[in-house]
Amino acid sequence: QLQLQESGPGLVKPSETLSLTCTVSGGSISSTSYYWGWIRQPPGKGLEWIGSVYYSGTTYYNPSLKSRVTMSVDTPKNQFSLKLSSVTAADTAVYYCASSYLELRYLDYWGQGTLVTVSS
Amino acid sequence: DVVMTQSPLSLPVTLGQPASISCRSSQSLVYSDGNTYLNWFHQRPGQSPRRLIYKVSNRDSGVPDRFSGSGSGTNFILKISRVEAEDVGVYYCMQGTQWPYTFGQGTKLEIK
């Protein structure tokens, strides 16, 4: 069974870039069977799909965030990452990484989530 | 984007009683391959979401059979036949038919 764990700074200053990494265990990041995604949840609010990345590097970004998002895969480290630029307080949220088996749309396994606060 | 609207937003239920959550989409969720990509997730307090049901009515492994999903087109329902204490938390529907995939605003189930 896959396990995913997010890591990265819990505090980011406005206008800077948020950077998170998701470490995958129990499976290979280069598997052709999985898509790797990021979803966020502002405090007390609902879920928003930020985007996903395939092992090949193909990315699928939410158009609402596309201009600020970069996702990538690090095969040797069995990790994938999220970068969100020019952050504001509205980007304060719990960020989850998740996997989708065979198709992008499923979100089978989730990490525990990490809270990122945007504040000076 | 496809807007997912859930009701009710708050659902107080007595233990052992049934519960039902409605999810409506702003567009049909029938994909070009004929499938309807509507998932249900459950998020317990302080935990990450866990998928319960995919493609409208397919229960995930380990999900009790008191959970069932139904619906078609733009109207979907999640039913719990007999609520147990471990069912508290927030339930989200999610459409996987049209990118960007979107979630409902969530229904908070609590025990009366």
- Asked whether the predicted pLDDT for residue B88 surpasses 90, the reply is yes
* Facing B92 at nearest CB: one of A46, A63, A113: A46
Q: A22: exposed, middle or buried (C-beta count within 10 Å: 0-12, 13-18, 19+)? A: buried
CA A97 to chain centre: 5
Tell if the CB–CB gap between A107 and B39 is shorter than 8 Å: yes
pLDDT of residue A18: 98
Q: Which residues sit opposite B103 in a β-bridge?
A: B94
Asked if B106 reaches chain A (Cβ–Cβ under 8 Å), the answer is yes
Average pLDDT over residues A36-53: 95
> Exposure string (b/e) for B18-57, b if CB count within 10 Å is 16 or more?
ebebbbbbeeebeeeeeebbbbbbbbeeeebbbbbbbbbb
Check pLDDT > 90 for residue B72: yes
Question: What does the pLDDT read at residue A23?
Answer: 98
| pLDDT tens-place string over residues A12-34 | 999 999 999 999 999 999 998 99
Residue B103's nearest CA partner among A119, A96, A7 is A96
Using the Cα atoms of residue A100, residue A37, residue A32 and residue B97 in order, give the sign of their dihedral: positive
Residue B112 confidence (pLDDT): 95
pLDDT at A59 over 90: yes
Q: Does B46 touch chain A (CB under 8 A)?
A: no
Quickly tell me which residue has 């952050």 as its tokens: A87
Contacts across the A-B interface (CB distance below 8 Å):
48
Distance CA B7, CA B10 (A): 8
Task: Give me chain A's average pLDDT, please.
Answer: 96
Amino acid at A106: Y
Find how far residue A83's CA is from the centre of its chain.
8
From A60, A108, A110, residue closest to B48, measured CB to CB = A110
DSSP designation for B101: P
Can you say how many angstroms the Cα of residue A73 is from the centroid of all Cα atoms in its chain? 11
Q: Residue A1 — pLDDT band, cuts 50, 70, 90?
A: confident
Q: What is the pLDDT of residue A4?
A: 97
A65-99 per-position pLDDT tens digit: 999 999 999 999 999 999 999 999 999 999 999 99
Residues pairing with A77 in the sheet: none
Tens-place pLDDT, residues B16-46? 999 999 999 999 999 999 999 999 999 999 9
| B65 burial level (CB within 10 Å; 0-12, 13-18, 19+) | exposed
The phi and psi torsions of B5 (rounded to 5 degrees) equal -120, 120
Q: How far apart are the first and last CA of chain B?
A: 36
Q: Kindly identify which residue of chain B lies nearest to residue A110, measuring between CA atoms.
A: B48
Q: Does position B85 have pLDDT exceeding 90, yes or no?
A: yes
